Structure 1
């Protein structure tokens, strides 16, 4: 039992991030169905984060009442900017692009966040990259392999994989992909701001190490920011009316699961493992979306998607192995660290 607990403790962050990617996977499809039903993007983002903030507020208030640091004006302004980059600005662009593209394309493009975050983190020196060590090479090669896998999934189709059964679920409505160029630009812009958001999280958590409270603040502030933007863009009062249908369920799911639970998981993992670790799990959602789209929603699946998905997983494994090895060796004495490196090199040569 102690060994099982030890293994769980070691891979706790890994398991939580995999669960988070499962949560994001369902988000793509339920959101697309809601938009096809006529839900306004800005109204959706606003309601979603108000729901997330209201759900997380009681937990943050009672569980972090004694450990929560004092909120100064400078720290509040930092959280305000963090909410703008990671919630209102980013998600408005991100979900607006879904109207012009598709869930599979959107999930694939999100994987560039990992590479962007890794590069930014190395440049500002919050992520170590020793190109002379085996671990550093693994992280660099893993990032490139994962990015290559994403490129294959988005640019190469190949032969179609035959569907073994009919679609189990049909998404309501027909999405009209009006402008792929506009959708691509919106997606790329959202990925850039998202990368900056992940980097800023690591910095903010050092001064405000209260993940539940930070999640609540970002949701509420992001909802307010999005509400102002929605009021400017959307003048029709009927757009703010949500019936007891797919629109309401998408808002509740996105608010509770994605803006609440998953953001808290990401903040905790960022504090424990760093922003690069968190973003390196984003490619899994691409694989999950492709599998779900093929097996449940009956979308077409091509060999290129399968090949790219395998490359993504290989790249993810290399990066995680490199980071895990770096963290292990950093806690060892210098002599033991050197012996560990030599043992790793022998294992690789034997393979």
Structure 2
């Protein structure tokens, strides 16, 4: 009786921890996007941010690799190293460079949408490369088609239609009006959209490569640590080629350092560990169900703290994308249950 009571108590104990962990992950992502936008807008060199962030992430993951996968680094041969190098290039250096440049040209609210359509882009690429089949006349297949149409349509709606501005609250952190106008004029929305689309496609390709990496080297902590380290080296090399000014690489006790530390500790190491724990408890389909929360959090916090306007078009388009994403994830869950 006591054993059953203990098991029940344990089950109840982590029952609320799984959703709470996923909410935290989405908050980590939101904070990273907002802080990165402010740092980049303040003049921080994008490749310096990428290099430092990745190296900080590697430093935070290293102790976990030493504890949970002790000695497994010896099994990383040249074949696995080559795949990890490609993994870092396709999964970090290229997509995050494109994403940050897209973020600098648009807004956090707009940019976060593209992170949430990555599962759909991955699905489309899987169909193109015949890694996945689509049974159009099945319920799950029909749901996937509807999901893709809604998500793409919602993204286009956000991009092309603004509509009436919703003045929900005054800004808590006010910026100089002149500075904001300059940013709006300088920002190239179309160019930013192209960067963000490229980032989503590259990250979708990374998911396909990641599956190969886990086959040739199935140690997630060492793989992630080396990927972060190599990604930091790759972005640092590109940054040095683009800018030889030493001042662009200097760090002080300011918001830029906070952004780097936050991105490495919480948005990289913290997010990874919480996701891994929840996948072990609830399965791989569970974490993506919370992805739309990052959109909601970003829309609200972007409007409050940075002051970007919420319009009817952006709000309605965001809802359409979220609905599309949930339909897609529900279809994937149904397929998993039917197998």
TM-score by length of 1: 0.81
Task: Specify the alignment match of 1:49 in structure 2.
Answer: 54
- Larger deviation, residues 233-242 vs 110-119: 110-119
Q: Does 2:194 correspond to 1:185?
A: yes
* Matching residue within 245, 259, 273 for 2:284: 273
| C-alpha spacing 1:78/1:41, structure 2 compared with 1 (3 Å) | same
| C-alpha spacing 1:287/1:229, structure 2 compared with 1 (3 Å) | same
Task: Specify the alignment match of 2:43 in structure 1.
Answer: 38
Structure 2's unaligned 5+ residue stretches are: 1-6
* Matching residue within 244, 248, 260 for 1:251: 260
| C-alpha spacing 1:158/1:182, structure 2 compared with 1 (3 Å) | closer
Cα distance, 1:15 vs. partner? 6.5
Task: Specify the alignment match of 2:170 in structure 1.
Answer: 166
Question: 8 Å contact 2:147–2:328 — kept in the other structure?
Answer: yes
| C-alpha spacing 1:112/1:325, structure 2 compared with 1 (3 Å) | closer
1:20-62 superposed Cα distances (whole Å, 9 cap, x missing partner): 3321111121112112322111111111111110111011111
Cα distance, 1:84 vs. partner? 0.5
Q: How does 1:104-183 map to 2 (within 5 A)?
A: 104-163=109-168, 165-170=169-174, 174=180, 176=183, 177-183=186-192
What secondary structure sits across from 1:130 in the alignment? coil
| C-alpha spacing 1:324/1:57, structure 2 compared with 1 (3 Å) | same
| C-alpha spacing 1:278/1:30, structure 2 compared with 1 (3 Å) | same
Task: Specify the alignment match of 1:333 in structure 2.
Answer: none
| C-alpha spacing 1:47/1:321, structure 2 compared with 1 (3 Å) | same
Question: 8 Å contact 1:116–1:192 — kept in the other structure?
Answer: yes
Task: Specify the alignment match of 1:71 in structure 2.
Answer: 76
Q: Distance in 1 between matches of 2:9 and 2:319?
A: 31
Task: Specify the alignment match of 1:346 in structure 2.
Answer: none
Relative CO higher for 1 or 2, CA cutoff 8 Å, sep ≥ 6?
2
Task: Count residues in correspondence.
Answer: 326
TM-score by length of 2: 0.84
Question: 8 Å contact 1:293–1:299 — kept in the other structure?
Answer: yes
- Larger deviation, residues 166-175 vs 200-209: 166-175
* Matching residue within 210, 220, 223 for 2:229: 220
* Matching residue within 242, 248, 255 for 2:251: 242
User: In angstroms, what is the RMSD of aligned CA positions?
Assistant: 3.1
- Larger deviation, residues 249-258 vs 22-31: 22-31
What secondary structure sits across from 1:273 in the alignment? coil
Q: Distance in 2 between matches of 1:329 and 1:169?
A: 50
What secondary structure sits across from 1:148 in the alignment? helix
Task: Specify the alignment match of 2:4 in structure 1.
Answer: none
Q: Distance in 1 between matches of 2:194 and 2:154?
A: 21
* Matching residue within 311, 329, 333 for 1:320: 329
Structure 1's unaligned 5+ residue stretches are: 331-351
Cα distance, 1:245 vs. partner? 0.5
Cα distance, 1:264 vs. partner? 4.8
Q: Does 2:100 correspond to 1:92?
A: no
Cα distance, 1:180 vs. partner? 3.0
Task: Specify the alignment match of 2:11 in structure 1.
Answer: 5
